[in-house]
């Protein structure tokens, strides 16, 4: 696992991570997943640093100057994403994570609100689940945690950590979570894997919403 921790291993640098973050923002914007400056994107540079979007900019029109180099053990930089604590906490707690992408995509945002009381969305029966790392069959039960939205992101980060620490062996924990009425966080060992997870999860939530309309 250690060899896949940081982007693609030795030789990746700040410029590479910055380029990955810019590309992720553009792709999400092209899908209409980051309306009105919403969303935030980060990629790991090395064990102690990440590249992360600054707050309040159009994530589909990111320039290199919009990407901050944030040390994981330092206070958050001024102008950093309002949701930077959520990124930093995940990188601290899961050294295998190489990139984290957050979007306000429609299916994720709506299903999160519908599932807030239950606290989870279970994905089961979909072939596309196999796009999620470690899932080998449509028969797997993939659990996506759902949290009530919260403006205090430090509190939220602690809730997320506690939830992932408590997952049992019988359930496959999704590489992501939902915030009710807000959107989706997804991650991967590399930016490419995080992008695949984001795309798969949004499509799976769209399937689920359609399916639920036709089932009692």
Ligand X SMILES: CSC[C@@H](O)[C@@H](O)C(=O)COP(=O)(O)O
Instruction: Tell whether residue 138 is among the known ligand binding residues.
Output: no
C-alpha 11/C-alpha 16 separation (Å) is 9
How far is it, in rounded angstroms, from Cα 96 to Cα 7? 10
Shortest Å distance, C-beta 215 to ligand X:
31
Task: Report whether 45 contacts 7 (CB < 8 A).
Answer: yes
Q: In the bound complex, what is the minimum distance in angstroms from residue 7's beta carbon to ligand X?
A: 21
Nearer to ligand X (CB atom), residue 25 or residue 126: 25
CB-wise, 126 or 185, nearer to ligand X?
A: 185
**Least distance in angstroms from the C-beta of 91 to ligand X:** 16
Q: How far is the CB of 84 from ligand X (least distance, A)?
A: 7
Q: Which is nearer to ligand X, 123 or 186 (CB)?
A: 186
Ordered alpha helix ranges (H), the chain: 14-30, 84-93, 106-114, 153-165, 191-214
Of the two residues 21 and 142, which places its CB atom closer to ligand X in the complex?
21
Where along the sequence are the contacts to ligand X (CB under 6 A)?
36-40, 53, 55-56, 81-83, 102
Which residues, in sequence order, are CB contacts of 156 under 8 Å at separation 6+?
Answer: 85, 86, 147, 150, 179
Annotate 38-56 with DSSP letters as a single string: --EEEEEEETTEEEEEBTT
Question: Which tokens go with 1?
Answer: 């696992």
Neighbours of 10 (CB within 10 A): 8
Q: Whose Cβ is closer to ligand X: residue 112's or residue 142's? A: 112
Annotated ligand binding at 197? The verdict is no
Report, in Å, the least distance between residue 21 CB and ligand X. Answer: 12
Q: Coil, strand, or helix at residue 100?
A: strand
Listed residue (168, 106, 162) closest to 143, CA to CA = 168
Q: Which residues are annotated as a binding site?
A: 102, 104
What residues form the annotated binding site for Zn(2+)? 102, 104
């Amino acid at each position: 696992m250690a060899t896949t921790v940081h982007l693609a291993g030795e030789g990746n640098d700040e410029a590479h991570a910055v380029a990955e973050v810019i590309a992720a923002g553009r792709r999400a914007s092209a899908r209409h997943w980051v309306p009105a400056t919403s969303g935030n994107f980060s990629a790991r540079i090395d064990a102690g640093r990440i590249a992360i979007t600054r707050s309040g900019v159009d994530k589909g029109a990111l320039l290199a100057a919009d990407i901050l180099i944030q040390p994981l053990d330092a206070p958050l930089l001024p102008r950093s994403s309002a949701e930077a604590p959520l990124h930093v906490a995940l990188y601290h707690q899961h050294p295998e994570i190489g990139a984290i992408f957050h979007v306000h995509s429609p299916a994720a945002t709506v299903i999160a609100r519908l599932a807030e009381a239950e606290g989870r969305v279970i994905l089961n029966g979909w072939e596309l689940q196999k796009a999620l790392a470690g899932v080998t069959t449509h028969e797997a039960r993939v659990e996506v945690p759902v949290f009530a939205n919260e403006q205090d992101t430090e509190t939220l980060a602690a809730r997320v950590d506690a939830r992932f620490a408590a997952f049992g062996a019988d359930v496959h924990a999704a590489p992501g979570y939902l915030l009710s009425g807000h959107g989706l966080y997804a991650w991967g060992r590399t930016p490419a894997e995080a992008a695949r997870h984001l795309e798969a999860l949004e499509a799976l939530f769209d399937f689920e919403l359609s399916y639920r309309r036709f089932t009692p």
